Structure 1
Amino acid sequence: MKYILASASPRRKELLAQAGFTFDVCPSGAEERIEGESPAKIVEGLAALKARDIFDKSLGSMTEDFTVIGADTVVAYQGEILGKPTDQEEALAMLSMLADRTHQVYTGVCLIQMKGEKKYTRTFHVCTQVTFYPVSREELLSYIRTGDPMDKAGSYGIQGPFAVHIKEIQGDYNNVVGLPIAKLYHELREMEEI
């Protein structure tokens, strides 16, 4: 089975590689449209959009069975989705809001598999609770100056310098990084048995 990751995320590439997958990277250029009312439905929809885009582009050129992996991650606090910050001011506002509180990180995953003449699709999401310690304005500004928060949903990366402010997580750590690799592995294993 050939695997195609429909994402340019270096963190997702790293997690797939760590899990022993051999895969090609083909980032989706599909325009993201937010559909759905809950963070769970929104990330599933965005993951499916990316996976369908790359599946449709790959269909004619593939001579072997293949699976496209689409994924999207959002941070949510009190039902509000926090995307990537547009500037340092927005990053500060997000991180200030999350300091000393618990929020949720949702990753949606869509798997589209072509096996022989048959197409199979699975879409799911994983939610992890993340709690920050209290963080001073000076600490937040120091972190923001590193540039690390600017390409991350919720303005932080759990695997980077901001890790010192993570009080606890409930759920899958890798989900917060950007891909619930254990759940993905088990879903793919079930699909192989179809």
Structure 2
Amino acid sequence: MHADADLEDGQTPIDPDEAVGLLPKWVATRADLNEVETENINQAYRWADAVLRRGEDVASDGFLRGLHAAMFGQVWAWAGTYRNTERNIGVAPHQINMQLRQLFDDARAWREFGTYPLDEQACRLHHRLTVIHPFPNGNGRSSRLMADYYLIQNGAERFTWGERTIPPDRVRGIYLQAIRAADEGNHGPLVEFVRA
């Protein structure tokens, strides 16, 4: 399968070495891949709900790895494993653990000291995860779910991610604009988008 033949803007190409880790051998197209990943992601909600019931901290390395594995473990052999290859975005592979440790420390401080409103905390968590880009693929989806579960753990409703008021064909473009604004230090558009 040539999995990156029809990438949309903002999607990460699949490295040929990582494509070897594709578990369902019948997958031949991007549509097939999207289908099996969606099925697997839907099962991940049960895993994340169980973790919350046990009282484990969402803003942690264990939750991030476990969530990614729950979301993609039936599709990719490398699910839940941090990447060891350079990508077109993200920090160098040897910086991933250090950057994540700093992010999770920051998230605990934001929560403890109320540094930002809760929605902005979750947006910053999401955005920094996309900047670090710890996994070979699935970073956007796993970071959005991380933000949602961060909110739930702190007594708030999950984000709508633009699906309530933005036409479906415009959601991705507006989301990417908001991410790029956050890249420049302006989190306002992302905070607005996630509740639209």
User: Scaled by the length of structure 2, what TM-score is found?
Assistant: 0.27
| Structure showing greater relative contact order (alpha-carbon pairs closer than 8 Å, 6 or more residues apart) | 1
User: Scaled by the length of structure 1, what TM-score is found?
Assistant: 0.27
More strand by share: 1
More helix by share: 2
**Structure with the greater alpha carbon radius of gyration:** 1
